[in-house]
Amino acid sequence: MPINAEEVNKVASLSKLELSNAESEVFTKKLQSVISMVELLEEIDGEGVEATFTVAHNRSVYREDVALQANMKEELLARVPETEDGYIKVPAIMDDGEAGA
């Protein structure tokens, strides 16, 4: 299946990635070669074959739903890029900040 730059940019957008024009060209070429490689799978007659998505030996694992006090707020906040007053700080959600909310 041929893939073009427009489709690559759409997949990038779904993946929360943006590509420059130069990157888009490189990714289109390399993704095309990978997609052509995986099309080998078309040879397989999958009629009546169940797909496998896990090889784990335990299929369902249950436990009591018990609340535990973690009390690690400071340690966790120390690992995010920016904090203020004990909260994770991110840029304004609206493009023009609070005024537009």
Partner 1 sequence: MTELFKKNIEELHQLLVSKELSAKELTAQTFERIEATEPNVEAFLALNKDHALKRAEKLDNIGIAEGNVLAGIPIGIKDNIVTKEMPTTAASKILENFMSVYDATVVDKVNEAGLISVGKLNMDEFAMGGSTETSYYKKTKNAWDQTKVPGGSSGGSAAAVAAGQVPVSLGSDTGGSIRQPAAFNGIVGMKPTYGRISRYGLIAFSSSLDQIGPMTRTVKDNALVLNAISGHDVKDSTSAQLEVPDFTSTINDGVKGMKIAVPKEYFGEGVNPEVVAAVKEAIKTYEKLGAIVEEVSLPHTKYGVAAYYIIASAEASSNLQRFDGIRYGYRSPEAKNLEEVYVKSRSEGFGEEVKRRIMLGTFSLSAGSYDAYFRKAGKARTLMIQDFDKVFADYDLIMAPTTPTVAFGLGENIDDPITMYMSDVLTIPTNMAGLPGMSIPCGFSQGLPVGLQIIGQPFGEAQMYKAAYAFEQATDHHKKLPVILGGN
Those residues whose C-beta lies under 8 Å from the C-beta of residue 93, and which sit 6 or more positions away, are 101
Minimum Å gap between C-beta 25 and partner 1 is: 13
Interaction of residue 71 with partner 1, rule CB under 8 A? no
Interaction of residue 69 with partner 1, rule CB under 8 A? no
Between 21 and 54, CB nearer to partner 1: 54
28 and 1 in contact (C-beta within 8 Å)? no
Interaction of residue 12 with partner 1, rule CB under 8 A? yes
77 and 86 in contact (C-beta within 8 Å)? yes
Strands in the chain per DSSP E = 83-84, 87-88
Interaction of residue 81 with partner 1, rule CB under 8 A? yes
Q: Which two tokens stand for residue 43?
A: 């040879």
Binding site for partner 1 (CB under 8 A): 8, 11-12, 14-19, 23, 26-27, 30-31, 33-35, 37-44, 46, 49-58, 61, 63, 72, 75-76, 78-82, 88, 90-95
